[in-house]
Amino acid sequence: MVDINKIEFEKFKPVWWAPEVHSQTVIASFSKTKDPLSERIEIVTPDNDFLELEVVDLKNGKPVVALFHGLEGSSERHYIQNLMSDLRNAGYSSVALNFRGCGKKMNLQRRMYHSGETEDYKTLFKWIKEYFDSSEVYAVGFSLGGNALVKSLGELKENHPVEKAVAVSPPYDLKAGSLRMNEGFNKVYQKRFLHTLKSKTNLKRVQFPDFPTFTGNSVYDFDDQVTAPVHGFEGADDYYEKSSSKHFYKYVQKPLLIIHSKADSLCPLEFAPFNDLKSNKNIRTLFTESGGHVGFISQKRGWLNRTIIKWLNS
């Protein structure tokens, strides 16, 4: 068995023209997207809703990689599309999940998605096993998708269907991260998130007239007024406490690589449960000095995906 702490990874070296965290984060989000030659598939959920999947099926019997996007992202985000393309070139089939309400169509049920939602992960993993007839599934989660992936790994422990996993720029303490959104340049990101979240809330109210109305001006307000009541939490604090990944790292029993920039302002590394990360022999951390939030523009382009694929190949 491979000692995960002895795997040698290439050091991240940022390009000279994007040395700072926000330039890494913003410029990466506008990077050129490679076409993974995928197809869109819809599957039914146990609660009579549907999930939209982006699928690359190479029909080669190799492990299949499940991908999970971040807050208000989708399978069309650059980091998902480019990773699917690079995984194809490395011989891996892949399936990217669009969280409910994040695909091309609004989902049917009242509920949508949130940072601690793991039931749809179970549905996806079950579908992958059946569709691909594969014995091995790997997984990569970005930001919010990484938080829920870690929570899922901690919940199912040794019974988790995933054999290897990667969490890129995950939040650790959801409340602390949410409050940090109100500081400095983070307000720019918050405004963008709230714009699409509010639009989806208005669409939901067409489906369900009693759907909560958002009247706040922060992500915390949105989670307190909408996310929490819609998904059965007592409020934002209750939602954050029960969904934060920091509570679940100690229980992870499958190999997990965490990739995170020390400069990340959206999901600050300072909130990580360092004792649990260090004491769990199944977890390998790769903390870079520079880089952004899900933004690692390297001198030799493609550092992030090369790192993820090396981990999956190990």
**Which range among 128-137, 147-156, 216-225, 255-264 shows the weakest confidence by mean pLDDT?**
128-137
Residue 273 reports pLDDT greater than 80:
yes
For the cut 80, the answer to whether the pLDDT of residue 230 exceeds it is yes
pLDDT tens sequence across 90-123: 999 999 999 999 999 999 999 999 999 999 999 9
Least confident window among 23-37, 114-128, 290-304: 23-37
Q: pLDDT-based confidence at 6, cuts 50/70/90?
A: confident
Q: Cα(49)–Cα(176) distance, rounded to whole angstroms?
A: 32
Lowest mean pLDDT among 11-15, 17-21, 36-40, 84-88: 17-21
Under the banding of pLDDT at 50, 70 and 90, the label for residue 294 is very high
21: pLDDT confidence band, cut at 50, 70 and 90?
Answer: confident
Q: How confident is the model at residue 198 (pLDDT cuts 50, 70, 90)?
A: very high
How far apart (Å, rounded) are the C-alpha atoms in residues 217 and 240? 18
Mean pLDDT of 238-244: 98
Structure tokens at 157: 């422990």
| 13 CB-contact burial (10 Å; exposed 0-12 / middle 13-18 / buried 19+) | middle
Q: For residues 187-208, give the mean pLDDT.
A: 96
Residue 299 pLDDT exceeds 90 = no
Full set of structural domains in the chain with CATH: 4-173+246-313 (3.40.50.1820), 178-243 (no CATH)
Read off the pLDDT band of 16 (50, 70, 90). Answer: confident
* pTM for this model (two decimals): 0.96
162-166 average pLDDT score: 98
Q: Which of 28-32, 69-73, 128-132 has the lowest mean pLDDT?
A: 28-32
The 3 state secondary structure assigned to the chain is CCCHHHCCCCCCCECCCCCCHHHHHHHHHCCCCCCCCCEEEEEECCCCCEEEEEEECCCCCCCEEEEECCCCCCCCCHHHHHHHHHHHHCCCEEEEEECCCCCCCCCCCCCCCCCCCCHHHHHHHHHHHHHHCCCCEEEEEECHHHHHHHHHHHHHHHHCCEEEEEEECCCCCHHHHHHHCCCCCHHHHHHHHHHHHHHHHHHHHHHCCCCCCCCCCCHHHHHHHHHHHHCCCCCHHHHHHHHCHHHCHHHCCCCEEEEEECCCCCCCHHHCCHHHHHHCCCEEEEEECCCCCCCCCECCCCHHHHHHHHHHHC
Number of neighbours of residue 198 by Cβ within 10 angstroms? 16
Mean pLDDT for 230-242 is 98
**65 pLDDT more than 90:** yes
Give the pLDDT confidence score for residue 167 in this predicted structure: 98
Taking residues 146-169, what's their average pLDDT? 98
Band of residue 88 on the pLDDT scale cut at 50, 70, 90: very high
Model pLDDT, residue 277: 98
Q: What is the pLDDT of residue 1?
A: 58
Between 69 and 296, the more confident residue is: 69
Inter-residue contact 223 to 231 (CB < 8 Å): no
The angle formed by the CA atoms of residues 83, 133 and 312, to the nearest 5 degrees, is 35
